[in-house]
Amino acid sequence: MTIGVLGLQGAVREHVKSLDALGVPTRVVKSTADLDGLSGLILPGGESTAIALLGENGVFDRLRRLAAEGLPMFGTCAGMILLARDVEGRAAAPLGAIDITVARNASGRQVHSFETTLAIDGIGDDVPAVFIRAPYITRVGAGVRVLARHAGVPVMATEGRILVASFHPELTEDLRVHRYFVETVCGLRREGERG
C-alpha cells in the first residue's frame, strides 16, 4: 500500500509527514512514472495555477484517466480547485473529478487566513482546520455529499472516491482527516491494525 502526494508545488512535505505519522508508506509524485501502483493520491494546497501549469508534463492527463478509473484522491485547498468540475471565472477545469463548483480565494486575501475547528461528518465535532486564501464550494452536484461547513458554506465534500477540503489538515497535528482518507475513502487498513 502506497499513497502518493502530488509533488509539483505546495505543501507536499506536510502531507508526507501526516501520512508518516499514520504509518502509511508514501511516494512524492512528480512525473507519470511515479503514478504507477498507488492506492491513493493527495493533491496538496499551494497555488493551483502553478500546479496546473507544471501538471502539463503529462501528469494531469494521467490523473484524469486514473480518477475515471476510480483511484482515490484527496485534494486540499489548491488541490480541491484542481479536482473540481468547475472553477468560477475560469474557462476550463483542470481535472473535473468531483461535481462541484469552487470560487478561488473566497476567504479573502492571505492576511485573512484563519484557524478554526469544524464539525466533520464521520470524523468529529472539533477537528482543527487551517484556512489559507481558501476556495469555497459554491455549487454541489446531486451525487456529492457535504461533510463539513464553515459559516454555512460547504468546505469539505466527497463523491465516489474523491475527497476535497477547502482547508489544510496537514498543517495541524490532528491526523483524523488523513486517517479518514486512508481508511474510508481508500478502504485501506494499516498493517497490524485490528478491527
* Catalytic residue set: 77, 168, 170
Task: Please state the closest distance from residue 110 (CB atom) to ligand GLN, in A.
Answer: 9
Asked if residue 104 binds ligand GLN (CB under 6 A), the reply is yes
**From candidates 40, 46, 75, 169, binder to ligand GLN by CB under 6 A:** 46
What are 13's three cell numbers? 512535505
Task: Please state the closest distance from residue 127 (CB atom) to ligand GLN, in A.
Answer: 17
Q: 137 and 166 in contact (C-beta within 8 Å)? A: yes
**From candidates 9, 18, 26, 48, binder to ligand GLN by CB under 6 A:** 48
Asked if residue 45 binds ligand GLN (CB under 6 A), the reply is yes
135 — phi, psi (to 5°)?
Answer: -80, 150
Question: Among residues 86 and 183, whose Cβ is nearest to ligand GLN?
Answer: 86
Q: Widest CA span of the chain, in angstroms?
A: 47
Asked if residue 78 binds ligand GLN (CB under 6 A), the reply is yes
Question: Among residues 77 and 98, whose Cβ is nearest to ligand GLN?
Answer: 77
Asked if residue 164 binds ligand GLN (CB under 6 A), the reply is no
Q: Which amino acid is at 101?
A: T
- Ramachandran region of residue 189, left (φ > 0), alpha (ψ -120 to 50) or beta? beta
136 — phi, psi (to 5°)?
Answer: -115, 155
Which residue stretch of 43-51, 116-124, 155-163, 184-192 sits at the interface with ligand GLN (rule: CB under 6 A)?
Answer: 43-51
Q: 131 and 115 in contact (C-beta within 8 Å)? A: yes
Asked if residue 161 binds ligand GLN (CB under 6 A), the reply is no
Size of the site for ligand GLN (CB under 6 A): 11
Across the strands, what pairs with 141?
none
Question: Among residues 52 and 144, whose Cβ is nearest to ligand GLN?
Answer: 52
Report helix, strand or coil for 26.
Answer: strand
Asked if residue 138 binds ligand GLN (CB under 6 A), the reply is no
Residues in the chain: 195
Cβ neighbours around 110 below 10 Å, total: 8
Give the footprint of ligand GLN on this chain (CB under 6 A): 45-48, 77-78, 81, 104-105, 132-133
